[in-house]
């Protein structure tokens, strides 16, 4: 079984893509003040639908994405794919600067993170940063005494960390997924749009 990683960029943002989103997703995109934030949110949401649709062999409009927050019930939680009849992949989404990334795991939780190095207080910590974030998103992070995410023994957690090579320079990225999955299969979606 293969871990899937999909990349795209802010250049792919196009208002016509709003038609692929449901009402809640469109409202979320349109509620953001900054155009770059709207673009990243749009690309991430559309690419998630396109990737899951390709994985399941259905149309993007048929993909049901639930973003209910586990803490407050608001529509801003981590995405989860819903289906009554078909096994669905675990998913994770991240974006930073010009890039957006989506990861799909057919067997168990997945976490992905991308970060523009120039946005970090300590650029040298970029790889550690994205690994911690990906572990947290995959639910594999343990809480340290000070409340910060601390990576557990990866073997004990049954997960593997894959360092990703972002398609643009100046970024770092990582994905965490069940160790039994094959190395990530990379797809570039509308990267040069």
Please count the other Cβ atoms lying within 10 Å of the Cβ belonging to residue 120: 15
Q: For residue 148, what pLDDT is reported?
A: 46
- Token pair listed for 19: 């038609």
User: How many angstroms separate the CA atoms of 144 and 32, rounded?
Assistant: 34
Residue-wise pLDDT for 166-180, tens only, equals 999 999 999 999 999
pLDDT, position 142: 42
**191 falls within a domain:** no
pLDDT on residue 149: 46
Decide if 56 is inside a domain.
yes
Residue 130 domain-assigned (yes or no): yes
Q: ∠ at Cα 130 (98, 159), nearest 5°?
A: 130
The CATH number for 156's domain is 3.90.470.20
Spatial distance between the Cα atoms of 29 and 14, rounded to a whole number of angstroms:
12
Residue 192 belongs to some domain of the structure: no
As for how many domains the chain has, the answer is 1
Does residue 36 sit within a domain?
yes
Residue 193 lies in a domain: no
Mean pLDDT (10-residue bins), the chain, 193 residues: 96 93 92 94 97 95 91 88 91 97 96 97 95 90 42 65 97 96 95 69
Give me the domain span that covers residue 80. Answer: 2-186
Torsion angle in degrees (nearest 10) through CA of 37, 43, 48, 49: 120
């Amino acid at each position: 079984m293969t871990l899937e990683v999909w990349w795209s960029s802010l250049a792919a943002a196009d208002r016509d893509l709003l038609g692929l989103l449901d009402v809640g997703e469109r409202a979320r995109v349109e509620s953001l003040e900054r155009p770059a934030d709207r673009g990243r949110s749009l690309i991430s949401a559309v690419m998630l639908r396109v990737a899951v649709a390709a994985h399941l062999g259905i149309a993007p409009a048929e993909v049901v994405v639930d973003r209910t927050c586990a803490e407050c019930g608001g529509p801003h939680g981590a995405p989860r794919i819903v289906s009554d009849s078909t096994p669905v992949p675990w998913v994770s989404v991240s974006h930073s600067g010009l890039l957006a990334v989506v990861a799909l795991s057919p067997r168990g939780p997945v976490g992905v993170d991308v970060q523009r190095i120039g946005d970090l207080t300590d650029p040298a910590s970029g790889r550690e940063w994205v690994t911690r974030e990906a572990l947290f998103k995959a639910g594999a992070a343990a809480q340290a005494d000070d409340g910060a995410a601390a990576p557990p023994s990866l073997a004990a957690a049954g997960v593997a960390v894959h360092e990703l090579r972002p398609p643009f320079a100046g970024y770092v990225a990582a994905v965490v997924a069940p160790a039994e999955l094959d190395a990530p299969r990379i797809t570039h979606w509308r990267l040069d749009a």
